Chains A and B, each alone.
Chain A
Amino acid sequence: MKGITHFIMGIMALTFIKSFVVGAVLEDSLVILLGGIFGLMPDTLDFKFLVYMETHDVVIDPDPYDMRPHEIASKVAEAINRAGTLKPGKMVKLQLHTLRLGPDLWQSYSLFFDTRKSEVVVKVGPHVTSSGVQCLGTGPPADKASGVVKFIPKLIDRYGKPTTLKGFSGPSYGFLKKKDGSVEVIFIPFHRRSGHSLTLGALFALIGYLLTNRPIIALAIFVPWTLHLILDQFGSMGNNLFWPLTKQRTSGLYIVNAANPFWNAFAVYSCLALILWNMNRFNFLANPMYVAFGADFPMWLYLFLAIVIPWLFLGAIYILYQIKFKPKEKPSEVLAPMTGAAAQMATELSEGQVDYEGAEQPKPPIWLRYMGPVVLGLVLVLLYVYGSSL
């Protein structure tokens, strides 16, 4: 999920704890902020530190002025083949670089693992801005538009979608040899390993406790950290929960797409609604002047009015949009003066790019996938039940 979702969820969790909310009202305490900070900490560690600790066996850094997609695809396929010859548990790591053309201009290209045909597909796209807007008329000539190269081992790609490199930093891939002889694609292998483990969260909590001698501070660190891992588990990538005891991250639960704006907005909104509920509950103990509705107002009714009804409405609009309008949607923007002909060209440019077809992705059994929301619900129920006595 997005950073703000983790941050708000961490804060929401700590507003269930009475002493934090009352302390904020009476003493301007800032302890609640530990929730946000440690809610976001796993990603902070991964993307500000651990990303730079990764080493790569293969680095692909194409010339943006002479794009050779076949050559890129060959190097990727070679890395996969090399991984196939390794001992189980070993990995070949590959780094793809983004190609900067100017302060706000990049050469785009995409990489796709077609596991059904055992092919690496590389496609060169147009120039794009940092926000991904295409620049009209910058697409490659037909003979340099794509490259397809076959690989030998059976490949498992849990992500299952093409990755388009547009700007900023490029992704890395790990090709992990499995015991059954197949090779698994590990997208950005530095991510969600040690930085996303319960053990490291427990270590931070222990440090927090030792520094303050207050067990509740350990709780204020560990709970938001754990909620981050639970939320991340909802996607496809998973976590390495028991590092260093376990070496690789497990599969995600495939419940939501972590980058989906609808789910992120839903999570942020729901957390804000719960924060307000908790403020109302505990403000009463500190100063009844800051209470908006009575303590006897049923929580289920509040949740129904504040979360369920608005999101049923928005959800219906979202589903309607997905079914009815999205398939007909035309590209929304290109960077060029728009006249009728240019707009037509832009439409053709974008329509030609969506022709990937991948194999069905391996997913965990359905009962396990439902465990994600159950665990999240359980944590929230525990916070609700015990938080008011802490």
Chain B
Amino acid sequence: MESLFYLLFAFVGVLIGSALSIVPGLHIYSISAIGVLFAITFPSVDPLGMVMVFTGMLVAYSMVSALTATYLGATDDSLRYSLFPNQKYLMAGRGYEASILSGIGALGAMMILLIIAPISMYVFPVFRKLATPHMPWILIGVVAYVLQSEWPKDWGSRAKTRIGRLKDGWASLSAGWLVFFLSMMLGFITLNVLTSSLDRAFQATIMPAFSGFVAVPWVLTNAVARFKVPTQNITNTLYASKKDVIRGTTTGFVGGMFSANEPMVSAGVGGLLAGHSTGTGGDTQFMVSGAAARFTYYVGAFFLLWVPLLHLTRKGMANISNLVFSPKSDSEFWLFVAVVAISAVLSFVLLIVLSRYMAKIIPRYSYRKVSLGVLAIIVAINLYFAGWEGLVIMTIATGIGLTQVMFRTRWANIMLGFFFPIMLNMAGIGSSIVKVLGIY
């Protein structure tokens, strides 16, 4: 009976999370902040019940926000991974199909999470024990691979000379390195020169940076492009093979779980690594794996907090939840697993309903106006949470994000560049670089 009570809490969380997910530009960590407000406002509420609300919110966010990715543009890096095909589908009148495929990817990731739950208490503590002292080289290794494995995009250079072709090929590569460098510098500045009080440091620096890197450039390019969204085809049949869905889901899950386990590795980067390892290809696999990676990144990271013998605190929701409640027993773990499963199914149903609604209304409006409206919401949210300083960070980050979009370099360069200073700190060389740069 008590468990049913907690399920009700989760259901409330799913509704709140779904509503917040379709607000463009509102990042999960802002939702986490709302979670803290909840905890402070209602101290008398059962802590476990409160965390069940958070769980429902997180599950809903990680699934339903595929709608903003498809119909309105990206809100964060993990959506960026799957966004391009989603938008292509939107322009082909298949936005509904794209959002449902994303939902299926997330649902599939949830099912894999259920399958591994019984063995998670044996497997994950092993990884943690062995890998913890090796974290610096693992993280810097991820950066090294992402930078080294980006191949030139010369679009079939027609230059007559060797130097001409080399120049064409290295245009995108050097832009990629530039984006990484600029993002790293912004990381050094925002993380070392405190732009706000400590309690607001996250909201005031990382959120505006993320908005600038990903959301604003995307919305701006949409606004400039002035394209018209065609009438959307709401279909009851999906044109996707089982092979693509299964491969996409498993790849996304592996990438998401890697990023959930490692600090400072986003779902997009994890998905990229897993995609390379398994040769992911085609739009369906891309969308499904992106959604699976995203779900696993958020929910999987929170899951690690509940795993008996592990209780690993990774990513935003685990940190927020720890302020209210720290899971200890096996029964709490299984309650959490059940809540995730039921919340995911509920979220998927809501995704279908909301996607049908959005598919009907989006083509009726000027996409340019919609994009500008989204931009206004993003600016307002950042101004509210981060103040004017945050808007400055967001503007600088937008410049870096636009460079990435224009040269079609890897977005992962931005995310990894921004967090690179922390990785260098972990390797014990960050402070020396900060001194050389004079940023302290």
* Chain A residues engaging chain B, CB cutoff 8 angstroms: 2-5, 7, 11, 21, 24-25, 28-30, 32-33, 36-37, 40, 44, 47-49, 51-53, 55, 61, 97-100, 104, 129, 131-133, 168-170, 259-261, 264-265, 268-269, 276, 279-280, 283, 286-287, 289-293, 321, 325, 329-330, 332-339, 343
Residues B141 and A25 in contact, CB atoms below 8 Å apart = no
Interface segment, one of B22-30, B36-44, B92-100, B290-298: B92-100
Give Cα distance in the complex from A61 to B237, angstroms: 41
* Contacting residue for B243 out of A286, A329, A335, CB 8 A: A329
* Contacting residue for B130 out of A283, A338, A339, CB 8 A: A283
Residues B283 and A276 in contact, CB atoms below 8 Å apart = no
The residues of B that contact A4 with a CB separation of less than 8 Å are 145, 149, 273, 276-277
Residues B156 and A332 in contact, CB atoms below 8 Å apart = no
Q: A98-B156, A279-B131, A292-B126 are in contact. Are A333 and B93 (CB under 8 A)?
A: no
The residues of A that contact B158 with a CB separation of less than 8 Å are 61, 97
The residues of B that contact A287 with a CB separation of less than 8 Å are 133
Residues A33 and B156 in contact, CB atoms below 8 Å apart = no
The residues of B that contact A293 with a CB separation of less than 8 Å are 126
The residues of B that contact A279 with a CB separation of less than 8 Å are 130-131, 134
Give Cα distance in the complex from A21 to B152, angstroms: 33
Residues A25 and B240 in contact, CB atoms below 8 Å apart = no
* Contacting residue for B129 out of A30, A268, A292, CB 8 A: A292
Name the distance in Å between A346's Cβ and chain B's nearest Cβ.
Answer: 8
Residues A265 and B133 in contact, CB atoms below 8 Å apart = no
Residues B239 and A338 in contact, CB atoms below 8 Å apart = yes
The residues of B that contact A25 with a CB separation of less than 8 Å are 133-134
The residues of B that contact A99 with a CB separation of less than 8 Å are 156
Interface segment, one of B108-116, B162-170, B376-384: B162-170
* Contacting residue for B169 out of A51, A283, A336, A338, CB 8 A: A51
Name the distance in Å between B304's Cβ and chain A's nearest Cβ.
Answer: 16
Residues B279 and A338 in contact, CB atoms below 8 Å apart = no
Q: A53-B162, A168-B156 are in contact. Are A290 and B282 (CB under 8 A)?
A: no
Annotate B136-171 by CB proximity to A: 1 below 8 A, 0 otherwise: 110011001100110111111110001001100110
Give Cα distance in the complex from A227 to B86, angstroms: 39
* Chain B residues engaging chain A, CB cutoff 8 angstroms: 84-85, 88, 92-94, 97, 125-127, 129-134, 136-137, 140-141, 144-145, 148-149, 151-158, 162, 165-166, 169-170, 173, 233, 235, 237, 239-241, 243-244, 247, 273, 276-284, 286, 426-428
The residues of B that contact A48 with a CB separation of less than 8 Å are 151-152, 169-170, 173
Please list 13 pairs of residues, one from A and one from B, whose beta carbons are closer than 8 Å in the complex, sorted by A's number. Answer: A4-B276, A4-B277, A36-B144, A40-B148, A48-B169, A51-B152, A98-B156, A168-B153, A261-B278, A292-B126, A292-B130, A337-B92, A338-B235
Most interface-central of B140, B233, B278 (chain A CB within 10 A): B278
